[in-house]
Structure 1
Amino acid sequence: MCVKLKGKPVIPYDHQYYLASYIYRTVERSDPSYSLDLHKIDVPKPFTFSYLMAEKRKNLKNGIRILSDSVYFYISSPAERFIKGVIDGMLSYPDIKIGNLKGIISEVRILQRPKFSKNMTFQTTAPIVVRKPVKKNGRLSGIELYPTDKEFYTLIEKNLNKKYELFHKQRINGVVKLNFIHFKPKRHRILNTHYRCSLGIFQITGNQRLIELGYDVGFGEKNSMGFGMVKVV
């Protein structure tokens, strides 16, 4: 999705919530009943999306100054109804507002899917969140992990199997192994919650269906809030 901008805005580093809200509103405009389903707690969210990106930008203390005439971002989903809802909503209402960024959708393009195999290399276009569930004062919470933690990889595999069962209504108990070539720790805030997360490049081997699912809906948690999206390198 390419957006022609009005002016040279400064967008917040933590812009995922604004972008997620825009995506939900876009689907609501074209398919209200499906939008209601997406907001249900027990319904898996079949999408993820990338950071907002720009060819020319400047990092400031309070955000990112966009110096290009446009920005772009990617949305990924295996659900045809979701993709149709996004595209129809954008074409029928091309004006976009994300925080103090205002513009007009100038291009919507469907990219060719990669050829999947049991051994692939991915680069994150949005950071990966992995949380270890723990009990504290009788309440269940989560501790975010980095690729330096061994449980990071076990939890990613477990999460992929869980998502596969939710989306496909069957278990496969697939095995995947990840190896991060390098990573950069990040920290983002969504509303009042902070998340430690990881950007980087990693190799993945194992069950091809789980690898494809990770590409489609994201690796790790909080995918529909802008975490876990990857591209092939």
Structure 2
Amino acid sequence: MHISLYINSHESKILKLPCSNLHFFQSLVYKLLPPDRAAFLHDQGYVIDNRPLKLFAMSWPISEKVPKLEDGLIKFDLPIRIVISTPITSTMDGIASGALMNEYMHIGSNVVFCEKVEVNYYNSVSDQIIIKTLSPISCYSQMLRSDGRKYTVYFSPFEKEFSNSIYNNLTRKYRAIYGTAEIPKGTVEIFPIGTPKERVAKFKVNDSFPMKGWSGRFKISGPKELLQVALDCGLGAKNSLGFGCIVSDGK
């Protein structure tokens, strides 16, 4: 299930933000949720193999015009659209209710409101789907240097590790949603359609290192139950930080 929040403002026709701004949108999502639901997702989440999952994915801001970079800021023409996908009804209902009940909200220093909420359903009806990204797909692994320090290796869609990482991540999400249900048999593979674009972003300005992901259109094959999890929860890692939000695209 996908929910689109159409964000506008009575005070300005422009949304002005630092270039590293994903934390503002994640903060908005948590503020829209009921306090107990927000605290659960933020502080705990659904723990599988000692690793928390939020089970929601968030798009990057979507606007009709390309945003402008001026004076060290990124400027979006309003309205913009933010998409959140999740299979968890309490999360979806909480975001929708919060968006409609609040007369105004803050995104950074911008005072905004939600003028419309739209719900869409994307269903996986076969073992192969075409998707497009609303935020980049990020797949990575933590490695150890010889001195014991960790470093991050990001995979590209042209590497087998990209598909492997996506499959392992989807099985964890499946277990978080369905508990002890048997994981559907079969692996998951992903192939770029055309030339995917590498995207680099910091979650917030003071982060030491940027996160990396890939945007574009992809063909994914595998058990349809896992493909449905991909549509509902997002693909790859860092979904709640603004990575891996996808929709089906039959073109």
Match of 2:79 in 1: 70
Partner of 1:74, secondary structure, is strand
2:123 and 2:228 in contact (8 A); partners too: no
Matches within 5 A, 1:132-211: 132-136=141-145, 137-170=147-180, 171-172=182-183, 174-181=186-193, 182-191=195-204, 192=207, 193-211=209-227
Matches within 5 A, 1:1-233: 1-5=5-9, 6-7=11-12, 8-27=14-33, 31-41=34-44, 43=46, 44-60=53-69, 62-67=72-77, 69-136=78-145, 137-170=147-180, 171-172=182-183, 174-181=186-193, 182-191=195-204, 192=207, 193-233=209-249
Match of 2:49 in 1: none
- Give the whole-Å Cα distance in 1 for the aligned partners of 2:93 and 2:100: 11
Q: CA deviation at 1:13?
A: 3.7
* C-alpha spacing 1:140/1:71, structure 2 compared with 1 (3 Å): same
Q: CA deviation at 1:222?
A: 0.6
Q: Which piece of structure 1 moves more, 205-214 or 35-44?
A: 35-44
Q: CA deviation at 1:113?
A: 3.2
How many residue pairs were aligned? 229
- Give the whole-Å Cα distance in 2 for the aligned partners of 1:115 and 1:92: 32
Q: Structure 1: any 5+ residue segments left out of the alignment? A: none
* C-alpha spacing 1:23/1:132, structure 2 compared with 1 (3 Å): same
State the identity %: 24
Q: Structure 2: any 5+ residue segments left out of the alignment? A: 47-52
Partner of 2:218, secondary structure, is strand
1:9 and 1:100 in contact (8 A); partners too: no
- Give the whole-Å Cα distance in 2 for the aligned partners of 1:143 and 1:152: 11
1:54 and 1:70 in contact (8 A); partners too: yes
- Give the whole-Å Cα distance in 2 for the aligned partners of 1:212 and 1:32: 28
- The runs of at least 4 aligned residues of structure 1 exceeding 6 Å deviation read none
- Give the whole-Å Cα distance in 2 for the aligned partners of 1:151 and 1:115: 24
- Give the whole-Å Cα distance in 2 for the aligned partners of 1:208 and 1:158: 15
Normalization by structure 2: what TM-score?
A: 0.84
2:17 is aligned with what amino acid?
I
Q: CA deviation at 1:95?
A: 1.2
Normalization by structure 1: what TM-score?
A: 0.90
* C-alpha spacing 1:103/1:162, structure 2 compared with 1 (3 Å): same
Q: Which piece of structure 1 moves more, 115-124 or 209-218?
A: 115-124
